[in-house]
Amino acid sequence: MTAHPRQPRIVLFGLGGTIAMAPVAGGGVAPALSPSDLVAAVPGLAESGIAVEVVDFRRLPGASLDFADVHALSVAVDGAFAAGADGVVVAQGTDTLEETAYLLDLWHAGPRPVVVTGAMRNPTAAGHDGPANLLAALRVAADPGVAGLGVLVVLADEIHPARRVRKTHSTSVGAFTSPNGGPLGYLVGGRPCVLHRPEGRFVLPRPADPPTARVGLVTVTLGDRGELLHGAEDRLDGLVVAGMGVGHVPERLVGRLHEIGGRIPVVLASRTGAGPVLTDTYAFPGSERDLLARGLVPAGFCDPVRARLLLCAALAAGADRATVAGAFAAAGGYTAPDSWPWA
Ligand code: ASP
């Protein structure tokens, strides 16, 4: 932890999600609370010395957030920094938290921290984790020691990089993990401790308008006959294939993927949840070598959901085929971070 020279000013954007839910007539919970309500529920915030300003940005479940919301949020985050904020916290639904965080990260060039958080237990539940997560996120955002790390995700006292974190459990309070590399650090007694820093930053130009590229994601499965791939090149601007293992598909899909890849960029990721797509090991029909020789782009360590966002953002930035390949080479870990196509 690094002390701030003066009282840190953090802007909190509330987007809804479980952290902001309240009971609904007829049963269940739905987004209802404002970010002021969230702040009021945090014990110890006054003593933390952090000045918090709130922006009631959206009150949506994570699943209903869209590219337009994240794009508008990214613009608003830049506005908060331009107005002098030391850091930003985003509180949102956990269902799409890793996607919001990654897209914000791709568009966040500056050194000041953006921290995304949420809750797994709603405010009516015993042991609601919202206040603890929010306080931890505010503390990280107020810590100059995290400058330059890009967008971070803080839940359950763990600090994760937006480029790697994933929701890997549907209900656990420890749902957020970084299967490739682990967390960057922890909150210990409320103090952020960063133990290691990822190399490089992968930032690309944010388009003036929200991305509109139609990028699909298809997971390949046992006995797959490729029904979801029919006409994909006519309906989509790009495709991510979540292949088996290190990037394999059944032989019968190879021709179809080759045809699609002749028209639109097709990125090959792994459906396993951790580890990279290989490039040079297996040599059977449908292997990674076969698919890459047919023009598919290997995603490296980028998981399928993240690969889809990177492809969307790259296309929105005007990337051609070679630039898309260069982006995945750097972000996927095949080449050095400084080979990233954008400055
Ligand atoms: N389970 C979700 C959450 O934690 C619901 C959502 O994403 O809004 O917020």
The tens place of each residue's pLDDT in the chain, 343 residues long, gives: 666 668 999 999 999 999 999 999 999 999 999 999 999 999 989 899 999 999 999 999 999 999 999 999 999 999 999 999 999 999 999 999 999 999 999 999 999 999 999 999 999 999 999 999 999 999 999 999 999 999 999 999 999 999 999 999 999 999 999 999 999 999 999 999 999 999 999 999 999 999 999 999 999 999 999 999 999 999 999 999 999 999 999 999 999 999 999 999 999 999 999 999 999 999 999 999 999 999 999 999 999 999 999 999 999 999 999 999 999 999 999 999 999 999 8
Level-2 CATH architecture, domain 215-337: 3-Layer(aba) Sandwich (3.40)
* 240 close to 308: Cβ distance less than 8 angstroms: yes
User: Ligand 1 center to residue 95 CA distance, Å?
Assistant: 5
- Mapping DSSP onto H, E and C, the string for 15-61 reads EECHHHEEECCCCCEEECCCHHHHHHCCCCHHHHCCEEEEEEEEEEC
Burial class of residue 47, CB neighbours in 10 A (0-12, 13-18, 19+): exposed
89: nearest Cα among 130, 33, 124? 130
Q: List the end-to-end C-alpha distance of the chain, in Å, as a whole number.
A: 29
Using DSSP's 3-state secondary structure scheme, residue 219 falls into strand
Check if 123 has its Cβ closer than 6 Å to any atom of ligand 1: no
User: Ligand 1 center to residue 31 CA distance, Å?
Assistant: 9
Residues of the chain with CATH 3.40.50.1170: 9-194
Please check whether the domain covering 9-194 is classified as CATH 3.40.50.1170: yes
User: Ligand 1 center to residue 49 CA distance, Å?
Assistant: 29
Check if 118 has its Cβ closer than 6 Å to any atom of ligand 1: yes
Instruction: Report which ligand 1 atom has the smallest distance to the Cα of 122.
Output: 4
* 298 close to 292: Cβ distance less than 8 angstroms: yes
Tokens of 329: 């080479």
Residues of the chain with CATH 3.40.50.40: 215-337
What pLDDT sits at residue 1?
64
Instruction: Report which ligand 1 atom has the smallest distance to the Cα of 61.
Output: 8
What pLDDT sits at residue 60?
98
In the chain, the largest separation of any two C-alpha atoms, in whole Å, equals 63
User: Ligand 1 center to residue 20 CA distance, Å?
Assistant: 9
Q: Whose CA is nearest to atom 6 of ligand 1?
A: 93
Instruction: Report which ligand 1 atom has the smallest distance to the Cα of 119.
Output: 4
Question: Is 18 annotated in the active site?
Answer: yes
Instruction: Report which ligand 1 atom has the smallest distance to the Cα of 97.
Output: 7
DSSP strand pairing (166-167 vs 176-177): antiparallel
Tokens of 28: 């269940």
Rg from Cα positions in the chain: 20
What pLDDT sits at residue 86?
98
DSSP letters, 137-170, are HHHHHT-GGGTTS-EEEEETTEEEETTT-EE--S
Using DSSP's 3-state secondary structure scheme, residue 338 falls into helix
Check if 18 has its Cβ closer than 6 Å to any atom of ligand 1: yes
Check if 93 has its Cβ closer than 6 Å to any atom of ligand 1: yes
